[in-house]
Structure 1
């Protein structure tokens, strides 16, 4: 589909957009699963060691969750950008 879009005159950023949006959605799904795992682990550890109060420290938990979501989206965006850039710079003969 990349070469088809190039043949009709689409710009590189226009071609890249659907791939990047798809990767952002996948990054959100992966990050969401990681957040669920982190919350479950925090609740489990809080049950074992209630004196630590891990599940009750909402500020730290919020920072970790925000960081996981942000890094998940950033990694997928960067990897998709460079992957599509590589394919956009290939000649048709090299691609097939």
Structure 2
């Protein structure tokens, strides 16, 4: 009788351990999937950041170019105004 009870206890313990293993495997698989999802999001964020950095550089270049054009135009206006003032004095 003692061996039967011991055997039953061991069988129950084995079933519990098998159940625990299945649960742990499921948790590991979920963690792996979450890790993969996070990695994909990180890759997308890096790609987006690189694209935004490139776009920002282009906009900065355009802004610098327009600023130089503005200064050149302002100088041209000053020169023309000076010539006009001289012409009006004659």
Same fold judged by TM-score > 0.5? no
Select the structure that is richer in helix.
Answer: 2
Compute the TM-score of the two structures, normalised by the length of structure 1: 0.41
Structure exhibiting the larger radius of gyration computed from Cα positions: 2
Higher relative contact order (CA 8 A, sep 6+): 1
Compute the TM-score of the two structures, normalised by the length of structure 2: 0.43
